[in-house]
Each structure stands twice: as structure tokens, then as C-alpha cells.
Chains A and B, each alone.
Chain A
Amino acid sequence: MKYLIRAIVLGIVGYIVGVWLTLAIRGGSPTDEVAVVFGFILALIGWLAGIGGIEAFGRQWIGKTPEVSTARGWQRYFQFTVDHKVIGIQYGVTLLGVLLIGGFSAMIMRIELASPGMSIVDLEEFNKLVSMHGILMVAVAVAGIIGAFGNYIIPIQIGAADMAFPRLNALSYWLVPPVAIGLLSAPLLGSFSAGWTAYAPLSVGGDSGQILFNMAIITFGLSSILGGLNIIVTVITMRAPGMTWGRLPIFTWAGFATALLAFTVTQFFAAALVLITMDRVAGTDFFGPDVGTGILYEHIFWFYSHPAVYIMVLPGFGVILEIATAFSRKPLFAYKAVVGSLLTIVGLSVVVWAHHMFTSGMADFLQAPFMILTEAISIPTGVIFLSIIGTLWQGKLWFRTPLVIAFGWLFNFLIGGITGIFLADVATDIFLHDTYFVVAHFHYTIVGGSIFALLAAFFYWFPKITGRMYNDKLGIIFAVSVTVLFNTTFLPLFWVGINGMNRRVGDYPQAYESANKFASVSALLLGSTFLLFVGNIAWSAVAGPKAGSNPWNARTLEWQVSSPPSHHNFRSQPVIVGPPYDYGVPYVVFPDAEPAPEPDESGKEVLV
């Protein structure tokens, strides 16, 4: 705790110094945007130094050996700890909190949208809610699976003791709380109302909260880039002997593909926001109405933000494929084709951005190429579906909570994918762009594809991470009700959009009332099902039975070590002798799933 307190104190001191210096140099008021920018930067530095940067990096700069905490108890979660498992949990808990806040803002929006006219907020407040909800949720979807489970599981899956750069990993995580604090404190400066997309020139005007949005998201980008770099290097260099590329578990492959994207494209969003920040505080005029750069921002923004949807969803593919093999007791179907598809998606995803701009007024000759490339992505995505189908095919499906959620995922992402074709087609997109059809579509892909996978991952790896089981019946009830209520919330919104309701509006014509009311009631029920989720965790903490090392009898390496795994995961260096999913091979015997305090098998599998 003392580090956290020191971080907060130094953060506040940093903020004050930043603001004070700015005022000393140029005068003005402490709420001027320039002052806020410098305050934020110094606060960030103070925070990082306080949380443990002084020991982990600072000491090295003055010629001493760096120190990192080796605390074992709960305190390690509140300081600069380099253990990848601790960092995974830190990410998970932080982002779950952000998800709940984002969900809460969705509830307020749905209450407002239950009937036409304004009831609990006004139009501008509604825009602020949409923007806050959007950016918080995007952050969760971008970093949720990869931050929490990527960090926790990937090193174990490849037989490594930790990430390649443990200190960098801790740094990536500790950049995240300032992002949340920055975004959530934006209302103090009037919040931001230009949507999570922050299109210029709208975002160049507007309340000063926008500047906190910019600083927070630039920081978040830094965290994504460093996290991506770390995963790339870890997967390349830290694999156990025998863990060839062809034996890499699919979740690791998916995480690797995601990291490649996060590492290469995130800077574009940051760059776009730097330009806006300069326009706001440094007197530049990149996006002024008379400059003629009308859609430049959109190009830069979507160059990041289209790949970002794959940053959100590729780890989801990994999770669902992992669950599909473990719960149908069959090898992953067409492993090589899946890997090829993941990498193809990475490649294609950086050349399709302008499908978000079919109505933007960009040159006409650009429409056809972007339509072609976009529809080409459906082919590798189809292979992922093929693999899921092939894996389930005549398997021994074991319907425990993770598989039930995976089925929900499959249904949702199917709808998300098919409705995506309507938005890739120029003719239909010209109609549907910026309507509720799009809102429904991206909730089916982001919530359906990424958040459902996050939940599936949670229920799949929970026993590994905590060492305890949850209540499976309750888990299944939760899984079914979330899936059903999610669909009753968002299916009507397709209809609403097709029938002429545009997005990002707090008020709408009478004609759309009944469908909106239905969606609102569903949404409130959907929100309340999360009580079941929280209840289940509480049940597990109080009464959950010990999970043992391998409750699902799964094959990847993380299930061959104790739950939770010991400090450096493996007692001795594991050696990999076979493919990751050799279900149904008669001569292979696997270590028993009895609770084992410490792992003692050095290899993944024992041949008899």
C-alpha cells in the first residue's frame, strides 16, 4: 500500500508542479488546457515514479542495481510487481471495474432512450454519456483479454517463467490507471462530447474535458504499444524447448497476432490526438474548417481504429477456439489454416480502414478497392468459423459454463459478421452508416465477439488463476441469461436503424418508441444479470471447492501446473514433445487432474 500512496502523492504533486510551471511561464488560469496538459504529463511521471519506477528504473540511472518488489501477499497487487500473473490479475480487475462503470453509463443512456423527448439528461449530456461509455468500453475491449489473460496465460502456455521484459510489462499496466482516472475526471472540465471517435473539427472545439480524453488515450496507446512489443518478443524468444511455432497453443497465436497489430497501428490514434491537442493548445490549425483537411482526421483515425476491432476480437477467437477443443475433447480442426487466417487478418486489417468512410465524401475511385479488401476479410474469418465447426463436429461436448458462453459468442459473432457485410457493401452502407444498424452491428461484434470471449475466458481460466471452482449451475444460468438478454437488447436496434433512426442521439421521433422501450427494458435486465456474475465470484470465495490443477482435463501447458501456478510457473524447464491438442490419441496419458500443490511433471505429457 505504501507505494500506492506514494504514487498518488507524487501524482498530485506532479500535477500541481505542471500547472504551476505553466502558469509561471505563460500566466492564465489553472484550468487552461495547456496547464492541464503539462499537469497531466508530470502527474503521470510522478505516479509511475511513486508506484515503483524509482526502484525499478531510477536506481539503474544512477548506477545502482534496480530493485523490484518480491512481496507475496495481497500487497503485491498494489505496487510495481513484475510477476506476469500478478500483472494479469491487475489488468483483469481494473478493466472489470471499467466495464462496470461503462455498463452503468449504458444503463443511464437506455433509460433516457426508453421514450422520446428528454427525461433525465439533456442532449449535450447525452452526447457526453455516449462518448464516455464508448471510450471506456473500447478500452476494455482493446485491453481486456490480452491484458488480463494474455499476460497471465501466454507465458505459461509457451513454457516460460515470465514475460521477456517483466519491468516493461509492469509499466504497461501502471499506465492504465491514469488513463481511467483521466477519462473519469474529464467531467470536472466539462467532459468530452465528440464521441469515442473524437472526429475533428468537432473535437477541436467543445469543452476542455476533451484534452483529458486526448492525454488519457495517448497514454493508453503507449501502454498498448509496450504491451504488444512485450508479447511479440516473449512469444518469439521465450518458448520452451520443443515449443515450435507449429505447436503453439492457439490462444498464444491469437495473442501474438493481436500484439503485432497493437504494436504497429496504435500510434496512429495517438498521432491524430496529438494533432487535435496541438490545435487546441498550441495554436496550430490542422483541422480548422477552412484548411481543407476535412476528412484527414478520419483517415488517420480509422487507420488505427479498424485494426483496433481486430485487436479486440482476435484474442476472442483464441479463447473460443481454446474452449472449443477442450470442451469437445477433440484437436483443433485445421490448426494451420487457422494460424494462416489469423495472420492474413492482421495483414488485411490495415488496408480496409476507409470502409468507415463510404459516405465521407472521399474520392469515388476509392470506394471499390476498399469494398473489395473488406469483403476479402470475410474469407479468413470464415476459416475461424470452419475451425470451430470442425472442432465441435462429433465431439464430446461438455456443456459447462465456458462452453455455454462460447455458444453464445458463436451466435452473436455470427450475427455481427453477417451484418458487417451490409456495412462493407457501398450501396447498403450509404443507407445504414451512422444509424442504429451500426450500433447494433458493433455491439454484436465488440460485445458479442470480445466481451463474451472475455467472460468465457474468465470462466475457463478462473479455476486456474484462483485455485477454486465457481458454481457451475449459476454460471450456466448467467451465461444463458446474458446471451438471451443481450440479443433482446440489440436485435430490435437493427430494426430501429433500418427504419431511419440515426445514432448518437438522445432524442428521436415517436415512431421508434416501442422498439426502443423494449431494448431499454432488456438492457436493464441485462445489466442486472451481472449480479449473478458477482454473486458467483462471491460464492466461490466463500464456498468454492478446490479446483485442482486441471478441472477441464485440458491439454495445454497451463493446465499441467498447479492452480494457481507457482512463482515461476514451472519447477524445471518443461520440454515439449507433441502437438498442443492431441485429444483422442490412445497412447498418450496425461497427468492426473488431482489437486497438486506444486507441479512435478517437467514435460507436458508423459508417454507410456
Chain B
Amino acid sequence: MRRSWLPVGLLWLGYTVLLIALTKYVAILPAQWAEEAQVVDEAFILLMYLGSPVMALVLAVMTWGIIGWRSDGADREDGPNQQNNRVLVTTWLVITSALAIGVLINPGFVGLAEIRGEPSSDYVIGIQAAQFFWEITYPNGETALDELVVPAEKRVRYDVSSVDVLHSFWIPAFRVKIDAVPGVPTQVYTTATAEGTSDDDVNLRVQCAELCGAGHAAMAMPVRVVSDAEFNEYIESLGGSE
């Protein structure tokens, strides 16, 4: 029994280090354009770290299974009659429960609280979804269809609704999404952190993220993050253009 602990342990360590290094040095997450994105990304990375040793353990056993425990089988010999190990099972239960509780607290509850944030906002922007476009209503009552302009460094509340079927309001660069539900208003908050346009990052777009019919894939529009002053100028100009 004893002789497998060492190689499996070493493999476990090796894989864990490898996976953690991969998480640390390979940038798999896209650029962040909002405070909410930071919350989500932190939670994501934390889960990658916590998942690494778990993943590594099973990989280590599989690897050593192939190298160390392989046997011809034709000799029809049995392995040891090891049926249970109460201490091991209990330890396992304790560790996995602790891990589950840990994940629940952080990123679980912490992330939930942070992503929701305070129910206060500098601006309220209305978003009405319909097959297959978004109608934006800015704080001054002006509406627009082709582009969402949001101020940087300001907390914005989006009041999301739908006139026909389910849609989902999603800005990948901000990470957050909320469904647009016919008959039931929903809300989401974001605070953009930097100015930019969808030419800078394909993820600066509003993308429908709930199947809504033939035009679902194309139900997207660019997002432009501008300074607060520019934002106000922009929404005023919408009125003038009529």
C-alpha cells in the first residue's frame, strides 16, 4: 500500500504546480472594461487555483495507474482486498466539504455581494429588447438604436425589459448579463473603467445571450465608453438631431 503514495504524491505536486503556473502566466481572460469585470475575473482565477489541486490529484492517480499499476491481467491474479478505509473516507469528506464551504464563501458570497454592489447609480439607462434589436433610453429621455454609449467611471443602472420573448443583455467586456423578460422588469449595474470602442475590443458590444429567434446571433450592437462630459454631450445631441 505504502509504495504508491510517494510517486502519486510527487505527480500531484507536479501537476498542481503546473496548473497553477498555467493559471498565473497564461492570460485566458479577455480585457477588463468595468469594475464588475474585475470581480468576475478575480472569482474566476480563484476558482482556477482552487480547482488545480483537485484536478491534479485525479490526473496523478491516472498517470500512476498507467505507469505503476499496469498489469497483464492474463495471470488472473487479484489485487489486495482493500474494501474501505474509514479514516481516508472521513478525511476526504472533511476536505471536500471544507473546499466546498470555502468556495461558497469566496468567491461565492463575496463575489455575489460585490457583483451586485450598492443599489445606487449615477445614471439610469433603459434597455428594451425586441426581436431583434435593442432600444436604448438615455437619462434625458432620448432614444437610440444603433450604439450604446456609456460614461466611464460612473455607475450606471440598466433597466432591462422585453416586448416579445426572452433576450439577455450582455456586454462581454463588462462580464455581466441579465435576461430581458417580457412582463418582468430586470436590472443590472456596471461601472465602466476605461474609454474605448468596439474597434478596440470585440467584447465592447451588447450581445443578446438568450436564444430569441432567427436574428439572435445578429442581435448585437457596439458599445462606446466615453468620458462623463462626452456622454452628456452625446445624449443632448440625440435630441438635436430630430
Residues of A at under 8 Å CB distance from B?
Answer: 122-124, 126-127, 193-195, 199, 201-202, 205-206, 289-295, 327-337, 359-361, 364, 367-368, 371-372, 375-376, 378-379, 382-383, 385-386, 389-390, 392-400, 407, 410-411, 414-415, 418, 421-422, 425-428, 430-431, 433-435, 495, 498-500, 502, 504-511, 553, 582-585
State which of A294, A332, A379, A506 has its C-beta within 8 Å of the C-beta of B217.
A506
Q: Is B62 an interface residue (CB 8 A)?
A: yes
A211 to chain B, nearest CB (A): 17
Please give, as numbers and ranges, the residues of chain A lying within 8 Å of B103 by CB-CB distance.
375, 421, 425
Contact across chains for B43 and A505 when beta carbons are under 8 A apart: no
Q: Which residue of A lies closest to B77 (CB)?
A: A396
Contact across chains for B210 and A292 when beta carbons are under 8 A apart: no
Assembled-state Cα–Cα distance A329/B73 (Å): 9
Contact across chains for B96 and A397 when beta carbons are under 8 A apart: no
A356 to chain B, nearest CB (A): 11
Please give, as numbers and ranges, the residues of chain B lying within 8 Å of A431 by CB-CB distance.
40, 44, 172, 175-177
Residues of B at under 8 Å CB distance from A?
Answer: 1, 3-4, 28-30, 39-40, 43-44, 47, 51, 54-55, 57-59, 61-62, 65-66, 69-73, 76-85, 88-89, 92-93, 96-97, 99-100, 103-104, 107-109, 111-112, 114-116, 160, 162-166, 168, 170, 172-173, 175-179, 181-184, 186, 202-203, 205, 207-218
Q: Which residue of B lies closest to A422 (CB)?
A: B47
Residue from B96, B173, B211 with most neighbouring chain A CB atoms (10 Å) = B211
Assembled-state Cα–Cα distance A284/B213 (Å): 22
Contact across chains for A376 and B100 when beta carbons are under 8 A apart: yes
Please give, as numbers and ranges, the residues of chain A lying within 8 Å of B216 by CB-CB distance.
123, 127, 504-505
Can you show 29 pairs from A to B with CB atoms below 8 A apart? A123-B215, A123-B216, A194-B211, A199-B211, A290-B183, A294-B182, A361-B179, A375-B103, A386-B89, A389-B61, A392-B69, A393-B61, A394-B82, A407-B62, A411-B62, A421-B51, A421-B103, A425-B43, A430-B176, A431-B40, A431-B172, A431-B176, A433-B209, A502-B207, A508-B217, A509-B205, A584-B82, A585-B78, A585-B81
Please give, as numbers and ranges, the residues of chain B lying within 8 Å of A295 by CB-CB distance.
179, 181, 184
State which of A194, A292, A293, A511 has its C-beta within 8 Å of the C-beta of B202.
A511
Contact across chains for B207 and A335 when beta carbons are under 8 A apart: no
Tell me whether A428 and B184 are in contact in the complex, defined as CB-CB below 8 angstroms, given that A334-B89, A397-B65, A585-B81 are known contacts.
no
Assembled-state Cα–Cα distance A498/B28 (Å): 8
Contact across chains for B164 and A201 when beta carbons are under 8 A apart: yes
B204 to chain A, nearest CB (A): 10
Please give, as numbers and ranges, the residues of chain A lying within 8 Å of B79 by CB-CB distance.
328-330, 394-396, 583-584
Contact across chains for A334 and B84 when beta carbons are under 8 A apart: yes
Assembled-state Cα–Cα distance A383/B88 (Å): 11
B116 to chain A, nearest CB (A): 7
Please give, as numbers and ranges, the residues of chain B lying within 8 Å of A498 by CB-CB distance.
28-30
Contact across chains for A400 and B73 when beta carbons are under 8 A apart: yes
Please give, as numbers and ranges, the residues of chain B lying within 8 Å of A332 by CB-CB distance.
83
Contact across chains for B112 and A397 when beta carbons are under 8 A apart: no
Contact across chains for A371 and B112 when beta carbons are under 8 A apart: yes
B197 to chain A, nearest CB (A): 14
Contact across chains for A394 and B51 when beta carbons are under 8 A apart: no
Contact across chains for A502 and B170 when beta carbons are under 8 A apart: yes
A248 to chain B, nearest CB (A): 15
State which of A193, A421, A495 has its C-beta within 8 Å of the C-beta of B214.
A193
Please give, as numbers and ranges, the residues of chain B lying within 8 Å of A399 by CB-CB distance.
66, 70
Please give, as numbers and ranges, the residues of chain B lying within 8 Å of A293 by CB-CB distance.
183
Please give, as numbers and ranges, the residues of chain A lying within 8 Å of B211 by CB-CB distance.
127, 194-195, 199, 202, 504
Tell me whether A368 and B214 are in contact in the complex, defined as CB-CB below 8 angstroms, given that A392-B61, A398-B72 are known contacts.
no
Contact across chains for B28 and A582 when beta carbons are under 8 A apart: no
Contact across chains for A428 and B44 when beta carbons are under 8 A apart: yes
A323 to chain B, nearest CB (A): 13
Given A194-B211, A428-B40, 19 other A-B contacts at CB below 8 A? A289-B183, A291-B183, A293-B183, A295-B179, A330-B80, A335-B84, A359-B178, A359-B209, A360-B181, A393-B1, A394-B3, A394-B80, A399-B66, A425-B43, A431-B40, A431-B172, A435-B209, A499-B30, A553-B76
Tell me whether A428 and B165 are in contact in the complex, defined as CB-CB below 8 angstroms, given that A193-B214, A418-B55, A434-B177 are known contacts.
no
A604 to chain B, nearest CB (A): 16
Q: Which residue of A lies closest to B50 (CB)?
A: A421
Contact across chains for A407 and B65 when beta carbons are under 8 A apart: yes
B169 to chain A, nearest CB (A): 9
Contact across chains for B175 and A430 when beta carbons are under 8 A apart: yes
Contact residues of B: prevailing secondary structure: mixed
Please give, as numbers and ranges, the residues of chain A lying within 8 Å of B184 by CB-CB distance.
292, 294-295, 361
Q: Which residue of A lies closest to B186 (CB)?
A: A361
Contact across chains for B175 and A294 when beta carbons are under 8 A apart: no
Assembled-state Cα–Cα distance A474/B40 (Å): 45
Tell me whether A368 and B218 are in contact in the complex, defined as CB-CB below 8 angstroms, given that A202-B166, A398-B71, A584-B80 are known contacts.
no
Assembled-state Cα–Cα distance A359/B55 (Å): 28
Assembled-state Cα–Cα distance A69/B84 (Å): 47
Contact across chains for B183 and A294 when beta carbons are under 8 A apart: yes
A458 to chain B, nearest CB (A): 20
Q: Which 3 interchain pairs have the tightest Cβ spacing?
A: A427-B111, A398-B73, A500-B172
B216 to chain A, nearest CB (A): 7
Contact across chains for A434 and B165 when beta carbons are under 8 A apart: no
Contact across chains for A337 and B183 when beta carbons are under 8 A apart: no
Assembled-state Cα–Cα distance A396/B28 (Å): 40
State which of B83, B115, B163, B173 has its C-beta within 8 Å of the C-beta of A289.
B163
Tell me whether A582 and B108 are in contact in the complex, defined as CB-CB below 8 angstroms, given that A361-B179, A422-B47, A499-B30 are known contacts.
no
Assembled-state Cα–Cα distance A511/B215 (Å): 20
Residue from A359, A418, A584 with most neighbouring chain B CB atoms (10 Å) = A359
A138 to chain B, nearest CB (A): 16
Contact across chains for B77 and A329 when beta carbons are under 8 A apart: yes
Contact across chains for A434 and B213 when beta carbons are under 8 A apart: no
Assembled-state Cα–Cα distance A122/B115 (Å): 37
Contact across chains for A289 and B78 when beta carbons are under 8 A apart: no
Contact across chains for A425 and B80 when beta carbons are under 8 A apart: no
Assembled-state Cα–Cα distance A126/B172 (Å): 23
Contact across chains for A202 and B61 when beta carbons are under 8 A apart: no
B157 to chain A, nearest CB (A): 14
Q: Which residue of A lies closest to B82 (CB)?
A: A330
State which of B66, B78, B85 has its C-beta within 8 Å of the C-beta of A396.
B78
Assembled-state Cα–Cα distance A331/B61 (Å): 17
B49 to chain A, nearest CB (A): 12
Q: Which residue of B lies closest to A581 (CB)?
A: B83
Contact across chains for A425 and B47 when beta carbons are under 8 A apart: yes
Contact across chains for A368 and B179 when beta carbons are under 8 A apart: no
Contact across chains for B215 and A427 when beta carbons are under 8 A apart: no
Tell me whether A123 and B202 are in contact in the complex, defined as CB-CB below 8 angstroms, given that A389-B61, A502-B207 are known contacts.
no
Q: Which residue of B lies closest to A381 (CB)?
A: B96
State which of A327, A333, A435 has its C-beta within 8 Å of the C-beta of B82.
A333
Contact across chains for B73 and A396 when beta carbons are under 8 A apart: yes
Q: Which residue of B lies closest to A511 (CB)?
A: B202
Q: Which residue of B lies closest to A421 (CB)?
A: B47
Assembled-state Cα–Cα distance A339/B92 (Å): 16
Please give, as numbers and ranges, the residues of chain B lying within 8 Å of A290 by CB-CB distance.
182-183
A293 to chain B, nearest CB (A): 7
Assembled-state Cα–Cα distance A407/B92 (Å): 21
Contact across chains for B71 and A396 when beta carbons are under 8 A apart: yes
